[in-house]
Chains A and B, each alone.
Chain A
């Protein structure tokens, strides 16, 4: 009985019509609802790809508010490892990249993907490890510390292993220590490749009682949750320079230029130099657009 009732109630044509209407609604009206928020802010948008370590400190949230108020340009901040960020720039998916890997950035500009590499701030990397410092690295320079880890081959070291700026720097440090990164990688189970972002890599190092290379910003953000202390944190080789590059394929070069100029302006530099005092008890970055950021 129920079946015949259903058949009578709905003619095939009206059912087909309502299905079609639903389809049209979903394809047209529903996405419009989602984008409603965007319609309200019709100001031009500027896409910035930045590195995870910089994003995780919260610096961009501070910069974004001031930049948007000054210029009425909406910033879309997207973060990933330096390798991925530069790839977005190469494909024209972002307007500006802000990263921290000099060699990769230089190659990016040389290949014509970026207009110019403009360094604007730095902080430093450090080798963190367990407070007991079983490998006795505390008094060493970074290169000597890595040589000691490699020679002992029994104290675990966790590498990002993800082509990020930090990973690139780690490889450069192995080379500076006279070792081939590929050989280090193959030299035993003490060398652990995480393939994770900086935060999760620090958590892994803490769990394993291992050493790892980290930027100071992420380290301070995580410090209260982890049994890791700074072991090696001196030496020019550990300087971590952040640079801004306007991508050549940008569709919004005026906005991109304004952002680069903002980061290097007196106001932007002061903001960067003050950032972190409240949250971490110390500034996280040294602005250097005017004075020069050093070799690396």
Chain B
């Protein structure tokens, strides 16, 4: 065990060019997926939260159930969509980084949507009522609620990014773990395990945690800044 970690740390210290490349690619892909998914599903969550319609609670229940969707199943669905014999095969996206972004964005969509709704529910009706009382339109009152909860958005983004960056099912199935092209930290770890190269797997696992730490620090700092503003 001790030998294993020593060897893993030695490999990190050497900072192999390929490891750096994989780390940067992983960060870019998962950050992209988080951005895309947030851009679509935070507004979608707001639309659900601020409206009253039949089946609203059912919809929220379904979204929360989807938190448990296995990554490899999303991988399979996206594979079937993007395969050349699938409906979107003409785009030629299978086994590309874009395919991983699409898959991860879908994977974290329920997390973003569910947590966003919970965040908005947490603000309480007072803020919206005050805004309306001050003569704001309904849309501006909704915005006031969204902005009031801003410190909670960092948590939503971090949870979503965390799920995206640590998953292996989607990246493996629709990315294909192609060296120098679609290999991410998790698929590289999986390869290390498959090849019996435990030190490599542990070294890459440590890199993944370093990436997660960096993102957490940044998001927390951003949250603090916006609160101070």
Q: B143 on the interface (CB 8 Å rule)? A: yes
B140 on the A face (CB < 8 A) = yes
Taking a contact as CB atoms under 8 Å apart, the answer to whether A10 and B196 are in contact is no
Query: Is the beta-carbon distance between B143 and A23 smaller than 8 angstroms?
Result: no
- A152 contacts the other chain (Cβ, under 8 Å)? no
Are B95 and A10 in touch, CB under 8 angstroms?
no
A56 with B195: CB separation less than 8 A: yes
- Interface size classification for chain A: 35 or more
Specify the main secondary structure of chain A where it touches its partner. Answer: helix
- Is A221 an interface residue when CB atoms closer than 8 A count as contact? yes
* Segment of A1-9, A170-178, A266-274 in the binding face: A1-9
Choose, from A75-83, A129-137, A282-290, the stretch at the interface: A75-83
Roughly how many angstroms separate A12 CA and B40 CA in the complex, as a whole number? Answer: 18
Q: In the complex the two chains form, what is the Cα distance from A7 to B141 in whole Å?
A: 7
Complex-state Cα separation, A52 to B177, whole angstroms: 12
Give the Cβ gap from B46 to chain A, nearest Cβ, in Å.
Answer: 10
Q: Are B130 and A77 in contact (CB under 8 A)?
A: no
Instruction: List residues of chain A with CB within 8 A of the CB of B89.
Output: 92
Check A3–B144 contact: CB distance below 8 A. Answer: yes
Q: Map CB proximity to A onto B128-139 as digits: 1 under 8 Å, 0 otherwise.
A: 001100101101
**B98 is an interface residue with CB less than 8 A from chain A:** yes
Report B45-97 residues with CB < 8 Å from chain A CB.
Answer: 83-86, 89, 94-97
- On whether the beta carbons of A26 and B36 are closer than 8 Å, the reply is yes
B193 adjacent to chain A (CB < 8 Å): yes
> Which of B27-35, B113-121, B205-213, B217-225 lies at the interface?
B27-35
CB distance from B112 to the nearest CB of A (A): 13
- What residue of chain B has the Cβ atom nearest to residue A38's Cβ? B181
Which stretch in A27-35, A120-128, A158-166, A238-246 binds the other chain? Answer: A27-35
Contact of A79 among B40, B98, B177 (CB under 8 A): B177
Tell me the smallest distance from the CB of A128 to a CB of chain B, in Å. 14
